């Protein structure tokens, strides 16, 4: 069973990315964001402590890796791993469900397939 509450794949997946923010951060990776400050600029207005915590969790579970610091800015970047990129289909299904079933939603970010 590992470090998860149960052997249920849905429950175990939610243990990793089932909070309010993690899939929003993953969405932003697919939209081309890679810097900490870019994630903070998202319209959902994630707080700095939550963002830092979620990035650590994503790294711990092998969904992202820390990139090299920019020579120009000295800022670190992050990028999705192959495992992280595999969440594209999950986000695509969720976005399409929301567009069809939640009044007032709209496709604002064109997220290219990995």
Tell me which residue of 110, 80, 109, 100 sits closest to 17, measured CA to CA.
80
Counting beta carbons within 10 angstroms of the beta carbon of residue 96, is it exposed (0 to 12), middle (13 to 18) or buried (19 or more)?
exposed
Per-residue tens of pLDDT for the chain, all 114 residues: 456 678 899 999 999 999 999 999 999 999 999 999 999 999 999 999 999 999 999 999 999 999 877 777 778 899 999 999 999 999 999 999 999 999 998 876 666 666
- Residue 36's contacts (CB-CB under 8 Å, 6 or more residues apart) are 51, 52, 55, 75, 76, 78
Q: Provide the whole-model pTM.
A: 0.85
Tell me which residue of 32, 39, 84 sits closest to 57, measured CA to CA.
84
Please tell me the distance from the alpha carbon of residue 19 to that of residue 17, in angstroms, as a whole number.
6
9-101 placed in CATH 1.10.10.60: no
Please tell me the distance from the alpha carbon of residue 68 to that of residue 45, in angstroms, as a whole number.
25
């Amino acid at each position: 069973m590992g470090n998860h509450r149960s052997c249920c794949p849905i429950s175990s997946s939610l243990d990793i990315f089932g909070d309010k923010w993690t899939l929003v951060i993953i969405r932003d990776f697919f939209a081309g964001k890679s810097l900490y400050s870019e994630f903070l600029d998202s319209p959902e207005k994630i707080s700095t402590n939550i963002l830092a915590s979620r990035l650590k969790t994503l790294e711990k579970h092998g969904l992202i890796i820390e990139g090299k610091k920019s020579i120009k800015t000295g800022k670190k970047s992050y990028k999705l791993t192959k495992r992280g990129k595999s969440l594209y289909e999950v986000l695509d299904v969720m976005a399409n469900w929301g567009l069809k079933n939640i009044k007032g939603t709209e496709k604002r970010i064109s997220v290219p397939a990995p």
